[in-house]
Amino acid sequence: MKKIVFGLLSLTLLAYVFNSCVRDTDYETPQITCNEPEIDPASMTDIGAVLANWHTINQSSYDRNVLEFAGVDDDPVYLTGYVVSNDKTGNFYHELFIQDDLTDPQHAVKLAIDQRSLFTRYDLGRKLYVKLNGMGLNKVHGEYVIGELNGSDIIPIRAHIADENILRGCEPADLQAKLVASPNDITDDMIGMYVQFDNMQFDLSEVGKTFVDPADSYDTHRLMKSCADNSELHLETSTFASFKDMLLPEKAGNVKGIISRNYSDDFYVLRVNNPADFDFNNNRCDPLFSEDFESYNLNETNLPGWTNVNVNGGSTLFKVKSYQGNKFMKCSAYNSGEDPLEVWLVSPPVNLDNTNNEILSFKTLAAYDNGTALSVYISTDFSGDVSSATWTPLNATIASGPSSGYGNWVTGSADISNFNGDIYIAFKYLGGVSGITTTYEIDDVRITAN
């Protein structure tokens, strides 16, 4: 363990307060009477600085090192932050998330505390001053966690230590969730933040289910999707949550919660304080058209309703492929022997006469990228021959990838509300064995509308 002496300060604490607020005996009601802690501003630090120091000691290490703060005999150092989690419903346990601003946070962290009913002392929006002396920071299951130092590890802060080291501020709390446009925009810096996503709904496969699967022992993940770009985010609910047996909201709308990671640190999740964090009162945005290619056999090129054509008569086409249990369409000029290679994958017709605000979304992945070979088009007069139809290019994001190896899935979307009647979506691959040979994969083609 590397020991980092954090901010030895020349100025001492002006006044030390063991209990900044009068304790309430009603454990259903947060404390009201409050005396502002008298803390020297020079002894304060922020979450961003603390996380930056942790990253500094872990830059070249595969084994995560604990950031050890100043010892108990050094001048006190206080971390400031605002409470964003609430354990009243049981969806959070022995943990308290804090962020660095009430409305526009840049960083957040979790305090591991060996106490229940934390909401009776640390209510939402409450400013806290956390004495870091004797504490440590590490990244555990994808979350940045502060706890008591225990040798080379950290443990939850014991109750009497929390009483002495976590002081409550008295400024009025006006906590507002930070708006995040899409689940695709989530970054590690948002872990622990109180955020809001608009225009979300639970996937159709989840409708009619409860928040928690009775077969799960610890947590249940329920899939939510964005109506704007079809991006995905899992809701994580504890099996100890008081609302575990409630049915999931069936409609669409906005949801507020705290960004976290699943236990295995595989993907981002959203955790809510209570069911009231869902405002799902809008009509659902279930797709007019949806294709995930899961129902087809591997290497299939003839998909019912789709047109898959090589305009130069060659044998290379889009083919169904699979990776880690997920199927998609794939095309590449590499080793094709064709120059040029022009392949079109055209969707079945989708009628837009009775809907409004239609949006096309899809996912692409690029590999061994040596140039852009994929584009997307729309037509209203396609009748089977791509060369005789009128095609309008759509301004949608297409993935780029590394020159060696595979990139990541990227969601692209386009507004197609100006079109009526039957429309056709086409993905065009144009490359050649002696030119652009970038490999592309396509998945989750959807059209949604109001």
Mean pLDDT of 261-290: 95
pLDDT number for residue 108: 98
Share of the chain above pLDDT 70, in %: 91
Q: If we measure between CA atoms, which residue out of 50, 106, 109 comes closest to residue 78?
A: 50
Q: Tell me: do 192 and 222 sit in the same domain.
A: yes
Domain presence at residue 107? yes
3-state per-residue secondary structure call for 88-135: CCCCCCCEEEEECCCCCCCCEEEEEECCCCHHHCCCCCCEEEEECCCE
Residue 321 placed within a domain: yes
CA end-to-end span of the chain:
56
- Tell whether 94 is covered by a domain: yes
* Per-residue pLDDT, 63: 64
Domain of 60, CATH number, reads: 2.40.50
**What are the phi and psi torsion angles at 190 (to 5°)?**
-90, -5
Residues 202, 271, single domain; the answer is yes
Q: What pLDDT, on a 0 to 100 scale, did the predictor assign at position 194?
A: 98
Structural domain span for residue 202: 178-282
C-beta contacts of 386-389 below 8 A and 24+ residues apart: 386/307, 386/309, 386/311, 386/344, 386/346, 386/426, 387/311, 389/424
Residue 296 falls within a domain, yes or no? yes
For the stretch 248-265, pLDDT in tens is: 999 999 999 999 999 999
- Please indicate, yes or no, whether residues 70 and 158 belong to a single structural domain of this protein: yes
- The CATH number of whichever domain residue 327 belongs to comes to 2.60.120.200
389, pLDDT greater than 90 = yes
Number of domains making up the chain: 3
Q: Are residues 296 and 444 in the same domain?
A: yes
The last residue of a domain, from among 282, 316, 350: 282
Clarify whether residues 268 and 294 are in a common domain: no
Note whether residue 27 is domain-resident.
no
301 and 404 co-located in one domain: yes
| 263-269: average pLDDT | 95
Band the pLDDT of 421: cuts 50, 70, 90: very high
pLDDT given at position 29: 47
Which string of b and e fits 258-289 if b means at least 16 CB within 10 Å?
A: bbbbeeeeeebbbbbbbbebbbbebebbbbbb
Answer yes or no: do 152 and 255 share one domain: no
Over residues 67-88, the mean pLDDT reads 86
Residues 437, 349, single domain; the answer is yes
Please tell me whether residues 435 and 298 are part of one structural domain.
Answer: yes
CA angle 447, 285, 398 (to 5 degrees): 35
Please state the rounded mean pLDDT for residues 326-353: 97
Backbone angles phi and psi of 375, in degrees to 5: -145, 165
Confidence of residue 439 (pLDDT cuts 50, 70, 90): very high
Last residue of a domain, one of 168, 194, 226: 168
Cut 0.75: pTM above it: no
- Please check whether residues 92 and 130 belong to one and the same domain: yes
Rounded CA gap, 401 and 63, in Å?
A: 29
Residues 59 and 154 in one domain: yes
Q: How many residues does the chain have?
A: 450
Is residue 142 one of the residues assigned to a domain?
yes
Q: What is the chain's mean pLDDT, rounded?
A: 90
pLDDT tops 80 at residue 54: yes
Is 35 among the domain residues?
no
Q: Which two tokens stand for residue 115?
A: 């106490």
pLDDT for residue 73: 61
Residues 294 and 436 placed together within one structural domain of the fold? yes
Mean of pLDDT values over 9-17: 30
Question: Do 336 and 363 meet the contact criterion of CB atoms below 8 Å apart?
Answer: no
Report yes or no on 386 lying in a domain.
yes
Of 235, 261, 282, which closes a domain?
282
Q: Is 70 exceeded by the pLDDT of residue 70?
A: no
